[in-house]
Amino acid sequence: MIVYISGVNDNPFSPYPSYMRVLMNCVAFALCFSNKTLFAILYFFSFFCDGLDGWFARKFNQVSTFGAVLDMITDRVSTACLLALLSQLYRPGLIFLSLLGLDIASHWLQMYSSFLSGKTSHKDVKDKSNWLLKAYYGQRLFMAFCCSGSEVLYIILFLLAGNQSESVLDVCLNAMKQSSLLSLILCLTLIGWGIKQVVNIIQMKTAADSCVFYDMKRSR
């Protein structure tokens, strides 16, 4: 979330990150087992504020390196914590732990390769040849659909989880049989989630290639 502080500098609409997202996530995970509904609301609102944060930062030309790094760290940590929870609620839990590892590895490699290339943002993929990666970072609505689909899917799975460990496939199929609306939401979120995982794999591969290319160029 962004807090607007007037009088700090010449721009009365200078946006400053307020750490509200971090606080909301801490409260959400503290209450995740005692109040699932409140957890879902706080977690989703934190995710929604992330989009507003970036939009206001670009609109008022207040994008900062620290803000970009803090934004990614908050995203990765909150998603990692939710995936860790899901790994304990469903079987096989290795699915969610694998998704956690892919998410962190992909973004860490992308950040590091961007740093080696002298770029100011890991979202700068104009020099990449893969069309899906360029579409993902170049079209913000497309990226928002994929990210929202992934996060909403995880929230739904958390809300559907029972007291005992269950098969994630069985839970999804039973939920889709009970409600046509839930079936539609699950299908849409699965599409966004699937595209995001493909992008993560492509991103990890291209970022690793960039690191290798950097070493080869340096050794000449």
Backbone phi and psi for residue 91, each to the nearest 5 degrees, phi listed first = -125, 145
Rounded average pLDDT over 24-47: 92
Residue 55 covered by a domain: no
For residue 67, what pLDDT is reported?
Answer: 67
For residue 12, what pLDDT is reported?
Answer: 35
Residue 191: pLDDT band (50, 70, 90) is very high
| 103 catalytic residue (yes or no) | no
Residue 182: pLDDT band (50, 70, 90) is very high
- Across-strand partners of 3? 16
Q: Above 70 in pLDDT, residue 165?
A: yes
Average pLDDT of the residues of the chain = 84
Residue 53 covered by a domain: no
Residue 15 covered by a domain: no
CA distances from 75 to 21, 79, 80 (A): 10, 6, 8
For residue 219, what pLDDT is reported?
Answer: 78
Number of domains present in the structure of the chain: 1
The active-site residue, picked from 75, 124, 127, 170, is 75
Q: Above 80 in pLDDT, residue 143?
A: yes
Rounded average pLDDT over 175-197: 94
- Across-strand partners of 90? 166
Rounded average pLDDT over 79-88: 95
Residue 77 covered by a domain: yes
DSSP type of residue 33: T
Residue 56 covered by a domain: no
DSSP H helical segments within the chain, as ranges?
A: 20-30, 36-59, 65-89, 94-116, 131-138, 140-160, 168-178, 180-219
CA distance 220 to 41: 54
Residue 118 or residue 28, greater confidence: 28
Q: Above 50 in pLDDT, residue 172?
A: yes
Which domain covers residue 149, as residue numbers?
64-219
Residue 16 covered by a domain: no
Is the CB of residue 11 less than 8 Å from the CB of residue 60?
Answer: yes
Residue 139 covered by a domain: yes
CA distance 53 to 46: 10
For residue 69, what pLDDT is reported?
Answer: 73
- Give the DSSP letter string of 45-81: HHHHHHHHHHHHHHHTT---HHHHHHHHHHHHHHHHH
Residue 83 covered by a domain: yes
CA distance 220 to 96: 42
Q: Above 60 in pLDDT, residue 135?
A: yes
